[in-house]
Structure 1
Amino acid sequence: MTNLVILTGRLARDPESRETQGGTTVTSITVVTDRPARDKDGKTYKDDKGYTVKDSEFHRVTCFNGLGKTVKEYCTKGQLVSVQGRLHYTQWEDSDKIKRYGCEILADKVDFLSKGATRDNQDAPEID
């Protein structure tokens, strides 16, 4: 049996990180993937400017410990990343006693396919 997810997309926002009482770092990111939109006949179509219209999907990704720390430190909104992991489903009851369901990707690997925005040393001189 296999539960494997591979996504390539851009970060919708900067990573959000927290630490559990047990000391585990948990970092959450949202990866956006696009695909061509299709009309009722199943054909792709273009907008007024001549660009192919796209449908976007937002994927919740959770990274733990060292991977989570690295993603928090080096990733920023808009950065292109590739995520490898597995699907994880959750179920809970909200405050109104309504049963809710969720799905996320638990990341095993995150590859940085583009540079993120620099957070530190923005005024540092170039290194030869």
Structure 2
Amino acid sequence: MTNIAILTGRIARDPETRKTQGEITVTSITVVTDRPARNKDGKTYKDDNGYTVKDSEFHRVTCFNGLGKNVAQYCTKGQLVAVEGRVHYTQWEDQEGVKRYGCEILADKVDFLTKGKSSDNQDAPEID
């Protein structure tokens, strides 16, 4: 059995980092992917300017420990990244006792496809 998720997209907002009680670094990003929109006939279509209309999807991605630290340090909104990881589902009850469900990608690897934070980061990892 396999649970693999691969995303290539742009970071929707700057990374958010926190530490758990056990001092584990957890960094969250939202990656936006696009795909061609389809009309009721299942065909793609263009807007008034001649561009193919796109549907955007927003994916919650969670990075732990060293990966989380690197993403927090070097990534920023708008940066193109490739994420490899696995799909993870959660279930909890809110304050009113209503069951809630969530889905996220737990990242094993994040490749920086474009530069992120300002170019004064001379020690940033090289981009292939």
TM-score normalised per structure 2: 0.91
Is structure 2 residue 93 aligned with structure 1 residue 69? Answer: no
Query: How far 1:27 moved relative to its partner?
Result: 0.1
Q: How many residues align?
A: 121
The answer for the alignment partner of 1:19 in structure 2 is 19
Query: How far 1:117 moved relative to its partner?
Result: 3.4
Spell out the pairing of 1:1-128 with structure 2 (5 A cutoff): 1-118=1-118
Q: Distance in 2 between matches of 1:43 and 1:76?
A: 34
TM-score normalised per structure 1: 0.91
- One-letter amino acid matched to 1:4: I
Query: How far 1:12 moved relative to its partner?
Result: 0.4
Root-mean-square deviation (Å): 1.1
Identical aligned residues as a percent: 81
Q: Any runs of at least 4 consecutive aligned residues in structure 1 with deviations exceeding 4 A, and if so which?
A: none
Larger Rg: 1
**CA-to-partner distance for each residue in 1:37-96, whole Å, 9 max, x for gaps?**
000011111111111100000000000000000000000000000000001100000111
The gaps in structure 2 that reach 5 residues or longer are: 122-128
Q: Distance in 2 between matches of 1:112 and 1:99?
A: 36
